Amino acid sequence: MNLGRQFFSPNHAKASNIHGRFPTSSASSSTPASNRSEAAASILISYCSTPDLHSPGTSGWRTRVRRNENMEKLQNDYLFPQIEMRKMAHIEQYPDAKLISLGIGNTTQPVPEIVASAMAEHSWGLSTVERYSGYGPEQGNEALRKAIAEKVYGGLGIKHTEVFISDGAQSDISRIQARPKVTVAVQDPSFPAYIDTAVIMGQTDGGNNNIVNEDGSTRAAAAGGGKSGKNIEYMKCNAENGFFPDLSRTSRTDIIFFCSPNNPTGNAASREQLKQLVDFAMKNGSIIVYDAAYSAFIGEEADDCPRSIFEIPGAHQVAIEISSFSKFAGFTGVRLGWTVVPEELLFSNGEPLIKDFNRIVTTCFNGASNIAQAGGLACLTTPEGLEAIRELVGYYKENAKILMETFSWLGLRAYGGQNSPYVWVHFPGKTSWDVFDEILEKAHIVTVPGSGFGPSGEGFIRVSSFAHREHIIEASNRLKNLL
Ligand SMILES: Cc1ncc(COP(=O)(O)O)c(C=O)c1O
């Protein structure tokens, strides 16, 4: 049987064409209400009985499926597509310019050989009857869960059954939000995925396009960083407050997203600050979603900066931690991460959150690639793997050091760059997009405008150290000569 031929045959297309799948408008009026509400419950789409199937102004076919209105609340000019657009226009204008990208935090250095070999070996094994395996446990392979519990959280009281292997941190940022209409706090500036996924998931239903400020006032969602939704609170984190929010002026929310080392500011929170955060969450009965995607960049010498929220007493009762192999092992394309959900973390009715998270993972996810997991295991369980990770992280940190020195030489205030791959540079009196455009125009370097990470990012740019060393050196020379 040739399934491919059958699937692509004209008969198959006819049998399942769009007229066949969706009712006519007269049929739709007799669709039982229960069916309609079932469809409306879908996160992505909902049913409506639009009689006009032709979409004006487009050559497409207009279905009767109503768009998820939350999508309309998202910023239209999402940060990275906007950067890409300006980059492409620049390339068109200067086809011979050698563009250097220090924008998106994409890794450039190869996956360590020992890790790639482990993945290749596993992959070859799949071609044999003896070593073939299909679906694995949705929560991840036990060996990897144990390795993470032991190597990353050794001594912190994390059981391997509390570690859920994912296909990267980004997926779990949205998966953990499969419970709509909670209130959410995020650092300002912060990684855009927290707010955008919160909006898509409907946390802002009934939103009034306002963001609640630290002082309780509301502000219309602004272009270039503002996001919609009255249920989302920005916690200002800037140089003046040591990149840590004034919690005495922060209202209670159900969820607090907190990222350390922070993307974009590069700041790693101190033990004292995280203690305050955990106490705040305990007092308010909130849950901290701690994003530790860059924790491997916290140096051995920085023992004042915890690598995990679970180093803080009480965190097991109020926090989950999301992390990733992307940045420390070059797995941005391989895709592997994890989330720790402690058993002690309970909902208001006493049910453990881990029970629901397990249910969501087993429903919405079929487990991370077993090849990627073999790579992850090699990272953590072989001395060569651990050494290779150290070298990889060290390489990017050296790049960050060069960038920090460059901006300091230029007389600019730059933050981060020490326990983080990101350098956060202040250009007082200028807008982020103006600085972005100027650096692109004069130095042919792509950065990220800080305002795209939240209102407090205005006047800043983020410069990424994820680049080849020669590009960092070249960028440094260009910046010194041209700015
Ligand atoms: C703070 C933060 N969290 C999560 C992610 C997503 O990581 P992953 O590649 O594991 O999905 C990124 C990616 O840049 C990030 O900066």
C-alpha 145 to ligand 1 mean position (Å): 20
Give me the sheet containing 255-259, strands edge to edge.
163-166, 337-340, 319-324, 287-291, 255-259, 184-188, 232-236, 210-212, 218-220
Question: Is pLDDT at 318 greater than 80 in this prediction?
Answer: yes
What six digits make up the tokens of 302? 């920085």
C-alpha 260 to ligand 1 mean position (Å): 12
What is the mean predicted confidence (pLDDT) over 306-314? Answer: 98
Nearest Cα neighbor of 199 from 213, 184, 189 is 184
Beta-bridge partner residues of 46? 66
Q: Are 260 and 236 in contact (CB under 8 A)?
A: no
User: What atom in ligand 1 is closest to the CA of residue 263?
Assistant: 1
**Span of 216-230, 334-348, 382-396 with lowest mean pLDDT:** 216-230
User: What atom in ligand 1 is closest to the CA of residue 104?
Assistant: 14
C-alpha 193 to ligand 1 mean position (Å): 9
Nearest Cα neighbor of 444 from 93, 78, 105 is 93
Question: Is pLDDT at 14 greater than 90 in this prediction?
Answer: no
C-alpha 291 to ligand 1 mean position (Å): 8
Residue to probe by mutation, ligand 1, list 170, 320, 339, 424, most atoms within 8 Å of CB: 170
User: What atom in ligand 1 is closest to the CA of residue 171?
Assistant: 11
Q: Which residue has the higher pLDDT, 415 or 77?
A: 415
Question: Is pLDDT at 63 greater than 60 in this prediction?
Answer: yes
What six digits make up the tokens of 82? 């906007």
Per-residue pLDDT tens for 402-436? Answer: 999 999 999 999 999 999 999 999 999 999 999 99
Per-residue pLDDT tens for 348-405? Answer: 999 999 999 999 999 999 999 999 999 999 999 999 999 999 999 999 999 999 999 9
Residue nearest ligand 1's atom 7 by CA: 169
- The binding-site residues of ligand 1, defined as CB within 6 angstroms of any ligand atom, are 105, 168-170, 191, 259, 263, 291, 293, 324, 326, 332, 337
C-alpha 41 to ligand 1 mean position (Å): 29
Mean pLDDT, the chain, as a whole number?
86
pTM of the model as a whole: 0.86
